[in-house]
Structure 1
Amino acid sequence: MVLGRLYINRNKLHSADWCVVVALIFNAAFTGVVLAQRNYSRHLWDIPVCWFNAWYFKILFVQATFFAPVFSTSKAAIFLLYRQLFDVKKNVRNAINLGLIFTGVLYLPNIPLAAVFEAPAASKSWQSMLTETKSHKMVYWGLVQSSLSVLLDIYIFVLPLPTIG
């Protein structure tokens, strides 16, 4: 789809097109990280304890770090496309800009939060994450982020409806 979009817009690429390319790159990397965890795709009680090692915690950290750019660039590309298509009224432009800002505020804190809660302290090893409980605090941010993400998805869906109708 991205290649088709770039081919169609090859003579005049917009910011939405470039954002889609960046989103594709991040999504491909994120998919690779998720596929690297294929052995862990079962219920937690069916995973042998010996599998929880330094590699597992490193891959969880990378996944938590990549989460922000994956979702923020994908949703920002939609808002930039809306700006390209529906930038006729000032209130629509403001609504699109508000959505872009909200997307950044919602997803970009994942990067520093992952560094604080999903990585060991500077003097500790990755194996020490087995006994650390600080990663449990990311669950609270995940609940808030998931709820607000649903609201953002509804906002993305509803935003163009008055302009189209």
Structure 2
Amino acid sequence: MTVKLSEDKMYETLAQVISDYDANEDNLIQVLHMAQVIFGCIPVEVQKYISREMDMPYSRVSGVVSFYSFFSTQPKGEYMISVCLGTACYVRGGKKVLEKIKEMTGIEVGETSEDGLFSLQVMRCIGACGLAPAIMINDKVYKQLNPTKVEKILGTYMKGDAVNVENN
């Protein structure tokens, strides 16, 4: 069971992290990693707080957050859908798979569904080229997809029965 901290407690914890790293600019990436763990993402308000507390320009903090793909300014969904659009997946129908996912979830790439269930991202390769097109949902790979298979898979996640999704 995860305990949700109050916003005040999250900022208090972040202040301690910044102190532990001596508010040193060389430790910005470590502080940002911890901020993302504490808050679940690094929204603008948190970036500005880090900027003030570490006495560095906001543009520096924002630049690091926007440069690295592992930092997020938006909360992520329970299920991260990663659609491969590498060459093999793209030519074998990856774009149609992506369109079906967008249709079913109501989100665009980089967004999280309003219910917090899904986030959507595109990847250039997930290492399943011989099984294209492929997607990953969290750490589970689904292969040789088409829009009909995607509908079945996502439907199962939407019903809360992700444990019983077959992997082709």
Structure with the largest fraction of strand: 2
TM above 0.5, one fold? no
Task: Calculate the TM-score normalised by the size of structure 1.
Answer: 0.26
Query: Which of the pair has the greater relative contact order for Cα pairs under 8 Å at 6+ separation?
Result: 1
Structure with the largest fraction of helix: 1
Task: Calculate the TM-score normalised by the size of structure 2.
Answer: 0.26
